[in-house]
Amino acid sequence: MTFLVSTANLFIWGLNYTLGEVPLELPHLEQAGLIAGDAAALAEMGYSCCRGVGENQSFLGMLEDVSRRALAATSAKPRLILFQHALFESATAPWDPSEPDAKTRYAYSGAVLLRELGLDHLPYFCLFQNGCAGFAFLLMTAAGQLLAGGGEAPVICVMGDRRPENGFCDMARERILGSDHASSFVMSGEPAGYQLLGVDCYSTPRTIVPLVEIVQRTMKMIRRLAQQLSLDLSDPNLRVHYPNIFPDAWKLVTRGLRLRPEQAVMIDMPERAHCGGSDSLISLSKLHGGNEGRIHVVVTYGAGVHLAIAVLREQKAAAPALLHKAA
């Protein structure tokens, strides 16, 4: 499915993120029984550490932090707030199993968060079942709301996930190490940050997709978007952002597209591992330098299974919160 909006003047800005404050090194994870796979195999992939929610943090607090920063970045009242979670445990607030009221037990984290923010009479809903490809799906959903609704009110988008209690920090078969994270951005017609040009996505209910197929489909989808949007992939300023998973696969994509090594972007993989949909937002926030017109191709991949490619054009102006992010 291809979603083209290059003439719609839709922009994302106010990019913010926060990570679990506790660094968890591979030897500690192995000793504590927090990884299902092999620590050596994860190290071979390029991981050395992930981030976990600390004693002075809560996952809802992380979501509240990035939501407040997104709201503070815009003076206009948002038309709605979109949430996205890859793990169903992240979409509900902690509950007491002895509580007989189901509405209390299964409180949606979005509703709890809006109450904490003091927001009412504001539409909100949550995207799910698109895994770590959530960033691209949020882009399409927010764009659709802006195109259909008219007016200047922005859309606030919030992503986040944390390891379930007593869960593992890794996915053994895929050799993926994950961190607790939360992030947010604003989409509106204000020309700042990045302009959304288009998204291409592929979905399948298969539980296993061979890496060679992921490589082939990624190259095909990027080439298709490049053709439809009249992009020059050989432009040395163009950047391709990859999630912090499958590094060998992305190297094949880079070579297959005949890109220069410096055009490929994978940021902080040893230090923060994979941060779900926030991977894309983190690298975009770090690479924005006011290089007006520079093209950014963002590759996302998530359970479901979904492969989605987004294309954005960097703007010279940065919204006030664009580079205001957590360390």
Owner of token pair 């991977």: 279
Query: How much is the pLDDT for 106?
Result: 63
Higher-pLDDT residue of 88 and 269 is 269
How does pLDDT run across 11-32, given as a tens digit for each residue?
Answer: 999 999 999 999 999 999 999 9
185: β partners: 157
In the chain, which residues fall in CATH 3.40.47.10?
A: 2-7+193-314, 11-188
What phi and psi values does residue 290 have, to the nearest 5 degrees? 70, 20
Region 171-190 average pLDDT: 94
In this structure, what DSSP letter does residue 4 have?
E
How does pLDDT run across 32-42, given as a tens digit for each residue?
Answer: 999 999 999 99
Query: How much is the pLDDT for 82?
Result: 96
Residue 252 clears pLDDT 60, i.e. is over it: yes
The least confident of 89-93, 144-148, 189-193 is 89-93
Token digits for 58?
């809560």
3-state secondary structure of 264: strand
Q: How far is CA 99 from the centre of its chain?
A: 34
Region 269-281 average pLDDT: 96
50: β partners: 24
Residue 51 clears pLDDT 90, i.e. is over it: yes
- Secondary structure (H, E, C), 106-143: CCEHHHHHHHHHCCCCCCEEEECCCHHHHHHHHHHHHH
Owner of token pair 């992240």: 90
How does pLDDT run across 206-220, given as a tens digit for each residue?
Answer: 988 999 999 999 999
Residue 326 clears pLDDT 80, i.e. is over it: no
CATH 3.40.47.10, domain 11-188, yes or no:
yes
| Domain spanning 2-7+193-314: CATH superfamily | Thiolase/Chalcone synthase (3.40.47.10)
Residues 6+ apart with CB under 8 A from 237: 291, 294, 295
**Whole-angstrom distance, CA of residue 43 vs CA of residue 27:** 10
**Whole-angstrom distance, CA of residue 117 vs CA of residue 107:** 16
